[in-house]
Structure 1
Amino acid sequence: MVRPNEEVAALLQEYADLLSVTGGDAFKARAYEKAARAVGGYHADVSRLDARQLREIPGVGASIAEKVAEYFRSGHIPALEERRSRIPASVRELIRIPTLGPKKAMALYEDLHIASVDELAEAIRTERLRGLKGFGPKTEENLLHGIGLLRQAGDRILLNTAVQTAEDVLARLSAITGGVRCTYAGSLRRMRETVGDIDILVAAKDSAPFMDAFVSLPYTADVIAHGGTKSSIRTAEGVQVDLRVLPPESWGAGLLYFTGSKAHNIRLRTIAVRQGLKLSEYGLFEAESGKLIVSRSEEEVYARLGLPWIPPTLREDRGEIAAALDGTLPDPVAEAELRGDLHTHTDLTDGLAPLEEMVAAAAERGYAYYAVTDHAPDLYMQRMTDEKALAQRELVRQLDGKHRKLRVLHGTELNIGRTGDVDWPADFLAGFDLCVASVHSYFQQSREAQTRRLIRACENPYVNVIGHPTARHIGKRPPIDVDLDAVFAACGRTGTAMEVNGQPERLDLRDEDIMLARRYGVKFALDSDAHTPIHLPYLRYATGTAQRGWLTADDVINTWPLRRLKSFLRKGHGGAAAA
């Protein structure tokens, strides 16, 4: 389920947006945005903190702390509700459109009486926005992009929200007597980047206790169906969860069927038919006699069809069955194979925890090495300086090897400028153990310009990894328009790794892009981009995305021993990585 911290963070962010819409103090709006990020990433459950304890969260002052405490006392934030009352619900709907800011949403409502997403799309089509200040052809194009993203997202939820909900349901159902197996299936088991609904499977002879407990979950807002083999609920957050109870003897076939994908299952059924068999959610049967052959495990079903077990993340009908048949199916990288994290932040820039806490949390996860990569000075809001970077480097050296022999690397996240330049000169960059370079601005450049800037960044002898390479935010910001073939070719040529960023709203590179990059011999870094210790587990989402892109451990530089990793990071320039 959604953590109380995330729930409050969403409310504080909404308040910041509404302040902007109603012409409130811009400084105050930014303060609430900062507080939203801080609360969302805070390690402790904020619902258990009083106002004094809330004020200990960075960026949370007395006024914000009191609003949060009031919300948990009464279920309301009066100041937020008062701001909501000033703004029509339709304008609040417009704010949800990626690329449309609060002030422009209000201008559309006040000047053109546009009060819905559909009305905005029609106004763009009929060119009604052309006379409105600040709304030129490029703005219209961006808005259409945003409307498309909003509609595409629909009711789908991010992977981490789906995982939290599914794991909570599993924990509650697993405690019921009589269950033999319990897991989630569907697109969530395949680790797709967004999930429409959540499929839960239970193996038990008596379904009634599980169905009754399921529809009575404390966060159930609506019972859609309550049956003997299937029940469905909608949670208070609007997530649909479906529960199916299978006979234990049908578990393997049922798990295979309900995991999907549909296209993968069709391929399997075609193979079964060719062998005189019939495959369903109940088992693999002889077609003529109806005799059950196998059904208890997925491995048995695959084996009887002449196939090895295929990992769920590969089941998308993208050649996995042909690869399984000819023995070339990859062994996907596993999270347990990752030796470290190469992209993280501290409170020196936009993180929420000091370096000491981040290092200790990384050590607790059993890493062999860990890199801190705070933002560089060209991202001016972070106020990084040469002096701050050097002081942090000294602290990194003091912490190196102090926590369970964890090796700590001093890195930086550089900003890829408009033409591909980066923040610091070569002599300063040479002092870092590694450099991640990312696009944080100029998202609307032409395809040619974006391609040139990324290639130039790859060619920089001190840039080791291109961070979140397409700069997308799922459902909010589209990928930059870039010739990925050309960029991946440059990465392969220069020895620059591509990142698979585990932040759930990024998951960048996408799985399709990863498959393309592998053809150019590109290596990859799976990173959490953590801004707080509770983000470090986001590596599970980077790993799932990497698996969907068919990556093996050898493709991923942070599965390598430190010596091999450092050799890669030198990138042929004899850099100053510590021994």
Structure 2
Amino acid sequence: MRVNDEVGALLDEYADLLAITGGEAFKVRVYQKAARSVAGDPADLVGLDDAGLRGIPNVGRSIAAKIEEYLTTGSIHELEELRARIPVGVRQLTLIPTLGPKKAMVLYHERGIDSVEALARALDTGSLHGLAGFGAKTEENLRHGIEILHKAGRRVPLGTAMELAETIVADLSAVAGCESCAFAGSLRRMRDTVGDIDVLATSDRPAALMKAFVELPLVEQVIAAGDTKTSIRTGSGLQVDLRVVPPEDWGAALQYFTGSRAHNIRTREIAVHAGLKLSEYGLFDVETGAKIVSAAEDEVYARLGLPWIPPPLREDSGEIEAALRGELPDLVTEADVRGDLHTHTDLSDGLASLPDMVAAAAVRGYSYYAVTDHAPGLAMQRMTDEKTLAQREQVRALDGRCGGMRVLHGTELNIDPDGGVDWPGGFLAGFDVCVASVHSHFDQPSELMTRRLVRACENPYVDVLGHPTARQIGRRPPVEADWDEVFAACARTGTVLEIDSSPDRLDLPAEHIRRARRHGVRFAVDTDAHAVPHLAHLRYGIGTAQRGWLAPGEIVNTWPADELIAFLRAHR
């Protein structure tokens, strides 16, 4: 994890603890904004002096001092004092969706509730009856929130697990004697959340590799240590398993520890029917016990009569049948993407300026790039017509100035409860691209939400339906809707469905992508970037698109600039 992310998380925690202890609302917001700015700043905090720290948006003298204290001592004493004042269980209560810090403290002071388990018992026994602010609807929301929290368990977002795994793989690859090292499991399959991390390696010095593994700075606890397998737990509670295998077993081990259980059952069945035995140790002839092939993963699949199956497809969701028919899709890759159609700047809730975001997009080699700051309907952003039109002039001035990259002026509209959007058609006609998203009233009944989304799609100026299910992984469930009706409306109106690459969203989810494909819908893989580093989140959206079986041609931002712009104009 980058030190910026560590400090951002600490400032976020400081803001939460301030809120729990009754701190002034404006001060809580200051620390929340600073947390986002620090985590999203491209410069490494370690290399910044006081002036450099204070140059980060929303970082003033006091916050800069706290950052310097952490970089010097490894802790922030004011944060430690706040931690000591609040039971850990009360802080855990605030992880429950819909339960804010003030209500958590009411539960603690009025009913002695100091853990998620205690709250669940109180709900079951009716102990909250009569407590001001905790009526029947609130109790229902709390039950649902606890259910979401339990489902998330110790699973972490894809982005968090990926950064950790890549750090581990890089560190172990540098150990003398390490020949190969890679992560496998659900992380390699690009699942939206990860329960633990599987790392595989080959080495002629496995003892040295195991020693280096348990001595990594991120290790909080060594769960088990052995010659071929060692398990550790990180400070965040995530388990990481390292397995060292002989070079000749690499392919079989990678295949075995990557596939889902259901996928592996299918491949083992194919092996059995061919008189073979497939395991993490290799592919063997059942009669003679001889090892046939296992050094390379594609060789393992080939011996089973299958082409190599991309890891994101290995879920037993039809990939075996498609492989046998020779019909596996030519999956989209990050290299296929020519531009980003959903990003933000500091004009709304982004952290970087328009020129900085445009320059960063150009560095990525994009042919086009759209800025889509929030519209007035999201009142907290205080957007106005004047601000939007002034930004449009800036966009036009930047168009083509960075390596010939087209810069498009867009907006992210808010879909009202009745399906309307922020501006009238005459004003919307001035945008190059309009993304429309649900940002409120998430608990509408399915029938109303379906009508809301369909009406938004029927607006001729809505080009893209942004993060369609509105989910926030582990924090907010997807909205309820008749998705087949929504997807049919998108296909009928030519509205593009977004795959939001933010690791906290990954929305549309893969299972919805597969359903939408059957309706002939087009997609866009966007980052919804609010800072320069967020542009790199594209790979998570691409992983989700791959899990949805998407080929490049189905994704509009893989198209050449002229083709995309013509499509957007024709949609109007």
Match of 2:32 in 1: 33
Alignment of 1:111-122 (within 5 A): 111-122=110-121
**1:464 corresponds to 2:463:** yes
Match of 1:421 in 2: 420
Match of 2:491 in 1: 492
8 A Cα contact 1:341 1:528, kept in partner:
yes
8 A Cα contact 2:250 2:296, kept in partner:
yes
**1:376 corresponds to 2:370:** no
Q: Secondary structure at the match of 2:441?
A: coil
> 1:260: how far off?
1.6
8 A Cα contact 2:7 2:39, kept in partner:
yes
Q: Distance in 2 between matches of 1:532 and 1:116?
A: 35
Match of 2:233 in 1: 234
Match of 1:566 in 2: 565
> 1:226: how far off?
2.2
Q: Distance in 1 between matches of 2:22 and 2:234?
A: 35
Comparing 145-154 with 547-556, greater Cα deviation is found at 145-154
8 A Cα contact 1:346 1:352, kept in partner:
yes
> 1:76: how far off?
2.5
8 A Cα contact 1:369 1:407, kept in partner:
yes
Alignment of 1:342-361 (within 5 A): 342-361=341-360
Q: Stretches of 4+ moved more than 4 A in 1? A: none
> 1:178: how far off?
2.6
Match of 1:577 in 2: none
Amino acid at match of 1:528: T
Match of 2:335 in 1: 336
**1:102 corresponds to 2:101:** yes
Match of 2:180 in 1: 181
Q: Secondary structure at the match of 1:24?
A: coil
> 1:532: how far off?
0.9
Q: Secondary structure at the match of 1:456?
A: helix
> 1:571: how far off?
4.5
> 1:355: how far off?
0.7
Cα deviation, 1:278-325, whole Å, max 9, x if unaligned, reads 111121111111112111111111111111110000000111101111
Match of 2:168 in 1: 169
Match of 2:308 in 1: 309
Alignment of 1:5-404 (within 5 A): 5-404=4-403
Amino acid at match of 1:106: M
Q: Secondary structure at the match of 2:36?
A: helix
Match of 1:409 in 2: 408
Cα deviation, 1:523-575, whole Å, max 9, x if unaligned, reads 111011111110001000000001001111111110111122123212543xx
Comparing 404-413 with 110-119, greater Cα deviation is found at 110-119
8 A Cα contact 1:461 1:571, kept in partner:
no
Amino acid at match of 2:98: T
Cα deviation, 1:208-235, whole Å, max 9, x if unaligned, reads 2211211111222222222211112222
Q: Distance in 2 between matches of 1:180 and 1:14?
A: 41
Distance 1:87 1:449, change over 3 A: same
> 1:118: how far off?
1.3
8 A Cα contact 1:464 1:571, kept in partner:
no
Comparing 25-34 with 175-184, greater Cα deviation is found at 175-184
Q: Secondary structure at the match of 1:504?
A: coil
**1:434 corresponds to 2:433:** yes
> 1:48: how far off?
3.2
Q: Secondary structure at the match of 1:188?
A: helix
8 A Cα contact 1:340 1:368, kept in partner:
yes
Identity of aligned residues (%): 64
Match of 2:543 in 1: 544
Match of 2:450 in 1: 451
Q: Distance in 2 between matches of 1:370 and 1:24?
A: 41
8 A Cα contact 1:345 1:529, kept in partner:
yes
Distance 1:357 1:155, change over 3 A: same
Distance 1:71 1:205, change over 3 A: closer
Q: Distance in 2 between matches of 1:303 and 1:546?
A: 25
Cα deviation, 1:133-188, whole Å, max 9, x if unaligned, reads 22222212211121111111111111111111111111112122333321111111
Q: Distance in 1 between matches of 2:11 and 2:97?
A: 18
Q: Distance in 2 between matches of 1:174 and 1:77?
A: 34
Q: Secondary structure at the match of 1:508?
A: coil
Cα deviation, 1:250-271, whole Å, max 9, x if unaligned, reads 1111110111211101100001
Match of 2:555 in 1: 556
Amino acid at match of 1:69: E
Distance 1:219 1:572, change over 3 A: closer
Cα deviation, 1:16-63, whole Å, max 9, x if unaligned, reads 222222222111111111111111111112233233221111111111
TM-score normalised over the length of structure 2 = 0.98
Q: Secondary structure at the match of 1:198?
A: strand
Instruction: Supply the RMSD in Å over aligned alpha carbons.
Output: 1.3
8 A Cα contact 1:277 1:286, kept in partner:
yes
Distance 1:159 1:424, change over 3 A: same
Q: Distance in 2 between matches of 1:9 and 1:444?
A: 30
Q: Distance in 2 between matches of 1:96 and 1:572?
A: 42
8 A Cα contact 2:410 2:434, kept in partner:
yes
Q: Distance in 1 between matches of 2:129 and 2:325?
A: 58
Q: Secondary structure at the match of 1:349?
A: coil
Q: Distance in 2 between matches of 1:171 and 1:24?
A: 42
8 A Cα contact 1:145 1:478, kept in partner:
no
8 A Cα contact 2:463 2:571, kept in partner:
no
Q: Secondary structure at the match of 2:371?
A: strand
8 A Cα contact 1:434 1:464, kept in partner:
yes
Q: Secondary structure at the match of 1:373?
A: strand
Q: Distance in 2 between matches of 1:158 and 1:380?
A: 29
Cα deviation, 1:417-451, whole Å, max 9, x if unaligned, reads 11111111101100100000011111122212211
Cα deviation, 1:473-495, whole Å, max 9, x if unaligned, reads 11111111222111111111110
> 1:389: how far off?
0.9
Distance 1:15 1:179, change over 3 A: closer
Q: What 5-or-longer segments of structure 1 have no aligned partner?
A: 574-579
Q: Distance in 2 between matches of 1:51 and 1:217?
A: 30
Amino acid at match of 1:137: A
Q: Secondary structure at the match of 1:413?
A: strand
Comparing 314-323 with 122-131, greater Cα deviation is found at 122-131
Q: Distance in 1 between matches of 2:115 and 2:33?
A: 29
Match of 1:521 in 2: 520
Q: Secondary structure at the match of 2:404?
A: coil
8 A Cα contact 2:461 2:571, kept in partner:
no
8 A Cα contact 1:462 1:571, kept in partner:
no
> 1:204: how far off?
2.3
TM-score normalised over the length of structure 1 = 0.97
